A and B are shown apart, each in its own frame.
Chain A
Amino acid sequence: MTLLNSLRQQPDAQGHFGDYGGRYVAETLMPLILELEREYRAAKADPAFKAEFDGLMTHYVGRPSPLYYAERLTETIRESAAPGMGAKVYLKREELNHTGAHKINNCIGQILLARRMGRTRIIAETGAGSHGVATATVCARFGLKCVVYMGAKDVERQQPNVFRMKLLGAEVIPVTSGAQTLKDALNEALRDWVANVDDTFYLIGTVAGPHPYPELVRDFQSVIGTEARSQMLEAEGKLPDLLVAAVGGGSNAIGLFHAFLDDPEVAMLGIEAAGHGLDKAHAASINGGTPGVLHGNRTYLLQDDDGQITEAHSISAGLDYPGIGPEHAWLHDIGRVTYGSVTDQEALDAFTHLTRVEGIIPALECAHALAAVPAKAREMTRDQIILVNLSGRGDKDMATVAASLGVTI
């Protein structure tokens, strides 16, 4: 059934979410993304595709991921809240997935598409390395060649993930152009794709890039919210009052939000990386950027008056990107989702706090979401519920966190 006023029917046939999205690619790639779109439509309608996807999600990824009531986190928030105030905080435990983050959901979907299309070589970009590891993992599982582009600066700060990718058989190519982070890795992956159109599938890691990527990545990630919605109904008999997720490109956030978009009683908060502060170096495209065109889609970007892209900064390599997925840009403009921001320091504090009170070490990406929770929870009553997407585990961030805390390991 199609809902007339549904917010879950985007994008349009040309890949537009309102004024955002689209297909801004070189002509060489146009026939490829049109073919991908056709194959994706066919796969979506194919029960065998869905059965294989669901089977791998259950037995390989380990889904469903738990919905966990963070009791001690909730208690610590209530200690500083007014009487009767302090919402219950639940975590969607995506960090318990195989490979330790939500990224694997999308990789399973896209690798099945690549196989369906007869592609034998997989390329990917990665920031923190979570998507690179997930891509290398599914390539190992299906015996496909894997090349991962990673900014040289990210290679430096995410050594454990680089080693994991290599162990899994992937070739990791450090990208030395530009700021040497995720944006530049994306440029280089696009250059590879345009030169290897016959055998290569570009496995994009977030809800950005040319249509149909923002749509298909969202669809594969929307399992997060679909599960969480029914788990919450089972646990509490009602929907959560507020969803919170970190947003870089925005795949974990849209994955959680999408199933709830037509539930008007559920508020949503996306958290961008404010880096050193919104008036300094940051990675908050909506809070500190303007609309433009980059990497195949129109969306909010960090750019100057001439349209030159400015360098993003975040302590979290996975959020260190000067753009955001086009569906988020649209959800911001129509006011369905609120987008806030959290600094490096606030994220570090939240990282440490969750580790100490729940015994869960979060990735620095979702530590941004956690940092926004206490203030919101204190404004809400005790019978209200906040659901946070704990999108990844923090093992990969040990070196970064140790350095920030002044510890040598």
Chain B
Amino acid sequence: MSRIGLTFASTSAEGRAALICFVTGGDPSPEATPAILDALVENGADLIELGLPFTDPMADGPAIQLANLRALAAGANTAKLLDIARDFRARHPDVPLVLMGYANTMLRRGAERFAEQAAEAGADGVICVDIPAEQDGVLGPALRAQDIAFIRLATPTTDAARLPAVLEGAGGFLYYVSVAGITGQQQAQQASIEDAVVRLKAATHLPIAVGFGVRTPDQAAAIGKVADGVVVGSAIIDAIAKAAAAGEDPAAAAGQVVAGLAAALRNTEKVPA
């Protein structure tokens, strides 16, 4: 079983949702990222999403847009992020690592080469915001040839007729974007999340992780009652930005946010579907 599968099996056995933490790689600097990733894991993150910075992150809200610009200004690029991933894998042999970003930086070096390098760096999955199921051919086959899960997104606009197409070729887990919108903005109504998770569960055996707009331990706990995983990004990135601007340790700040989220999820028992 893959690291992603093992992780969800283990959190499920504990009767709780997995905590999935996103940070933009290279923010505030490529040198600072390894310690931040370690802090996420040490404080209870079950799975790491490492954002590959891009100049034009059109699905992201202000927090992650600024994180991308800070990372690029500090010299981050895809090659450095793959190095960071490789070193992370050496330090944390069992923690699943997913690369998340946009099509252009992934395809720039060629899909095959990107997939090979990602596999060699120990990545378990890839999320590409702007490669929908219809464009799977440009990256999906290359990733699957390297046993890297191509993690798909489902959204409130993904209707029942379309869902099978989204699930075709999907791997790892299904990322449910709980609001139609950009990252880090408003939160979805709990009832609509619950309905969506039930609907998605009926269509796939993949674990369902819910993200977008999840900022607080209470929100995470509420979603953790029904979903297999909860994704938090902007709240961690805000803490990193604030600490970096104040000359404090961004890893410690990120760790503190994650500790609160992890405790909330560990105290929340999943309601069996």
> Could you tell me the distance in whole angstroms from the C-beta of B267 to the nearest C-beta in chain A?
32
Closest A residue to B153 using CB positions: A27
**Assuming the A-B contacts A183-B56, A191-B59, are A293 and B182 also in contact, with contact meaning beta carbons closer than 8 angstroms in the complex?**
no
Cα(A29)–Cα(B59), bound, Å? 10
- Tell whether A305 is near chain B: CB-to-CB under 8 Å: yes
A293–B107 CB distance below 8 A: yes
A27–B177 CB distance below 8 A: yes
A27–B56 CB distance below 8 A: no
Q: Could you say which residues of chain B place their CB within 8 Å of the CB of A184?
A: 56
> Could you tell me the distance in whole angstroms from the C-beta of B49 to the nearest C-beta in chain A?
16
A308–B105 CB distance below 8 A: yes
Q: Could you say which residues of chain A place their CB within 8 Å of the CB of B78?
A: 306-307
- Tell whether B129 is near chain A: CB-to-CB under 8 Å: yes
In the complex, per-residue mask of B101-127: 1 if CB is within 8 Å of any chain A CB, else 0? 011111111000000000000000000
Interface residues of B in 34-69 (CB under 8 A from A): 54-59, 61, 65
**Assuming the A-B contacts A178-B55, A295-B58, A303-B108, are A25 and B180 also in contact, with contact meaning beta carbons closer than 8 angstroms in the complex?**
no
- Tell whether B162 is near chain A: CB-to-CB under 8 Å: yes
B56–A306 CB distance below 8 A: no
In the complex, per-residue mask of A288-318: 1 if CB is within 8 Å of any chain B CB, else 0? 0000111110000101011111000000000
B130–A25 CB distance below 8 A: yes
> Could you tell me the distance in whole angstroms from the C-beta of A175 to the nearest C-beta in chain B?
11
In the complex, per-residue mask of B152-165: 1 if CB is within 8 Å of any chain A CB, else 0? 11111111001000
> Could you tell me the distance in whole angstroms from the C-beta of A254 to the nearest C-beta in chain B?
23
**Assuming the A-B contacts A24-B135, A195-B181, are A308 and B54 also in contact, with contact meaning beta carbons closer than 8 angstroms in the complex?**
yes
Q: Could you say which residues of chain B place their CB within 8 Å of the CB of A183?
A: 56
**Assuming the A-B contacts A27-B154, A306-B77, are A194 and B180 also in contact, with contact meaning beta carbons closer than 8 angstroms in the complex?**
yes
> Could you tell me the distance in whole angstroms from the C-beta of A250 to the nearest C-beta in chain B?
19
- Tell whether A62 is near chain B: CB-to-CB under 8 Å: no
> Could you tell me the distance in whole angstroms from the C-beta of A34 to the nearest C-beta in chain B?
8
Most buried by B among A26, A177, A183, A191: A26
> Could you tell me the distance in whole angstroms from the C-beta of A23 to the nearest C-beta in chain B?
5
In the complex, per-residue mask of A208-224: 1 if CB is within 8 Å of any chain B CB, else 0? 00000000000000000
Interface size on A, residues (CB 8 A): 36
- Tell whether B166 is near chain A: CB-to-CB under 8 Å: yes
- Tell whether A143 is near chain B: CB-to-CB under 8 Å: no
Q: Could you say which residues of chain B place their CB within 8 Å of the CB of A34?
A: 162
Cα(A33)–Cα(B154), bound, Å? 16
Closest A residue to B61 using CB positions: A191
> Could you tell me the distance in whole angstroms from the C-beta of B149 to the nearest C-beta in chain A?
16
B56–A187 CB distance below 8 A: yes
B55–A31 CB distance below 8 A: no
Cα(A163)–Cα(B94), bound, Å? 59
Cα(A24)–Cα(B104), bound, Å? 10
Interface residues of A in 141-162 (CB under 8 A from B): none
Cα(A306)–Cα(B30), bound, Å? 15
Cα(A407)–Cα(B65), bound, Å? 39
A-B complex: 8 closest residue pairs judged by Cβ atoms: A307-B108, A195-B181, A307-B105, A293-B103, A28-B155, A307-B104, A306-B77, A187-B58
Interface residues of B (CB under 8 A from A): 54-59, 61, 65, 72, 77-79, 102-109, 129-135, 152-159, 162, 166, 177, 179-182, 185
5 contacts between A and B (CB under 8 A): A22-B135, A29-B157, A178-B56, A195-B182, A309-B55
